[in-house]
Amino acid sequence: MLTTESPSHYTNLEKLSTRELLLGINQEDKTVPFAVEKAIPQIEKLVDAIVERMQNGGRLFYIGAGTSGRLGVVDASECPPTYGVPHGLVVGIIAGGDGAIRKSVEKAEDDFEQAWKDLQAYQINEKDALIGIAASGRTPYVIGGLQNANAHNIVTGCIVCNTGSKVAEQAKYPVEVVVGPEFVTGSTRMKSGTAQKLALNMISTSVMIRLGKVRGNKMIDMQLSNEKLVNRAVHMVMDELKIEEKEAAELLEKHGSVRKAIDAFHNI
């Protein structure tokens, strides 16, 4: 039996109180970071391979179905505002198309050929890297996408929550985060989804730092798209340059980004 399908450590859930349910879920969630920690050597190899491709003009793609696909879309969509990279540098694709982000598309994940068709719309090529996300590790949509990518010399990785899966077999850089039984048997949006989110955070954050999108510990290329982010940027400039708020705000308004404001100040 797949680990992701193994019986919950808990039973008679419908008879538990709200507090008992919450404590049980929390107890299971506590195990997830330790499972991710065991996969760090695998994640490291995948990150290094992605960075090498992206330093040479490549892009990063995610493919997945259901919760896994949605997590990839979320991670990709957060890269432009957080790190100031162009839309299209990190791309999340979900089986069934963007409509599947909100509403599941019946049998979309069972189409072995569709992922490659979806990727071809972006003219994916050997400069790029592709990560297949599938808790079970057996999603045909993801397996087919990785298989076709391998045939075109594209770096392939995966994030799965079972060992020895068909998805991992197709990935040159597999990441296997085995979190054990879910609180509700088979509900992989729970611990497995949390593990995938943590792994995605680690991958995209590490890649962006390696690509020079962070200075010190600050997101110096973030988009200033709302008042909260503008205020954060002002304080970044103040902290970095040891100047007053008014001067930092003026520099930021003039140059449009934290990086440019800091560099302009040093060039005065």
Q: Which residues are marked as active site?
A: 78, 109
Helices and strands (H and E) in the chain: how many: 11, 5
Give dist(CA 247, CA 87) in Å, integer: 31
What's the rounded Cα separation, in Å, for the pair 80 and 232?
17
Sign of CA dihedral 63, 65, 70, 71: negative
- The vertex-218 CA angle with 128 and 247, nearest 5°, equals 130
Angle at the Cα of 109 from the Cα atoms of 60 and 49, rounded to 5 degrees: 20
The one-letter amino acid code at 50 reads I
> 96 and 103 in contact (C-beta within 8 Å)?
no
Structure tokens at 153: 């010399």
238: amino acid identity, one letter: M
Q: Which helix (H) or strand (E) holds 156?
A: strand 155-160
Distance CA 130, CA 61 (A): 5
